Amino acid sequence: GDSVTQMEGPVTLSEEAFLTINCTYTATGYPSLFWYVQYPGEGLQLLLKATKADDKGSNKGFEATYRKETTSFHLEKGSVQVSDSAVYFCALSEGGSNYKLTFGKGTLLTVNP
Amino acid sequence: DARVTQTPRHKVTEMGQEVTMRCQPILGHNTVFWYRQTMMQGLELLAYFRNRAPLDDSGMPKDRFSAEMPDATLATLKIQPSEPRDSAVYFCASGFLGGHEQYFGPGTRLTVT
């Protein structure tokens, strides 16, 4: 079945540091890929998405590129802020008539001033 | 700014009591999902609906959990009887046919003592 593997956290960075959170997936077809973010005490919010190979999703300074050859969708940001502290989830959807999302376990990011 | 709403936000109850959680999906969305989040298990899909019809509830303990959509503006998740192991945050999410991203509500934090 489908699966998503994220790097284990927690990740602790200083403000303005470069961020990478690794995500790899296993899927039988051509899934859509997503990054969601969960701030403390809140629900998950869609951060960015990519629907086909080589697509780059971007939002709020975060980027991720759909790499079919390496089955990866790594999240990056050039300069993190304290306000980026949250849990980040990588997810995939097989698409078609299947609307289920398969989530990774989440990576806790803490950014210190 | 359309949002998924959930009530109550917090619920504390005693073991054996019935618990009902409610969700109002975003107007026009026709897929609704229920998730449970715990530290140990992460994010688990319990059930989901399309056009108010249940499509998959394989993640839900059938003997005590039930999920329904009485109309397009209301989804309910009921636990009867509740047990301490049901303590978790329960999220509702909605989406629309043709898109695969999901929009999450703020969650109901359930504590069963």
Residues B3-32 have pLDDT tens digits of 999 999 999 999 999 999 999 999 999 899
Q: Does A29 touch chain B (CB under 8 A)?
A: no
In angstroms, rounded to a whole number, what is the distance separating the alpha carbons of residues A13 and A80?
Answer: 8
Q: Which of A32, A45, A100 sits opposite B104 (nearest CB)?
A: A45
Q: Which of A42, A46, A105 sits opposite B101 (nearest CB)?
A: A46
Q: Which of residues 46-85 of B touch A (CB under 8 A)?
A: 48, 50, 56
The SS3 call for residue A23 is strand
Tell me which residue of A7, A44, A9, A2 sits closest to A25, measured CA to CA. A2
In angstroms, rounded to a whole number, what is the distance separating the alpha carbons of residues A16 and A62?
Answer: 13
pLDDT number for residue A8? 82
Mean pLDDT confidence for B89-99: 87
Low-confidence ranges of chain A (pLDDT < 70): 96-98
In angstroms, rounded to a whole number, what is the distance separating the alpha carbons of residues A87 and A109?
Answer: 6
- Cβ-defined contact of B102 to A103 (cutoff 8 Å): no
Per-residue pLDDT reduced to its tens digit, B42-92: 899 999 998 899 888 888 988 999 999 999 999 999 999 999 999 999 999
Interacting residues of B98 by C-beta distance below 8 A, sequence separation 6+: none
> What sign for the dihedral angle of Cα A31, A33, A38, A44?
negative
- Cβ-defined contact of A46 to B56 (cutoff 8 Å): no
Which residue matches tokens 């899934």?
Answer: A31
DSSP B48-99: EEETTEEEE-TTS-TTTEEEEEEETTEEEEEESS--GGG-EEEEEEEE-TT-
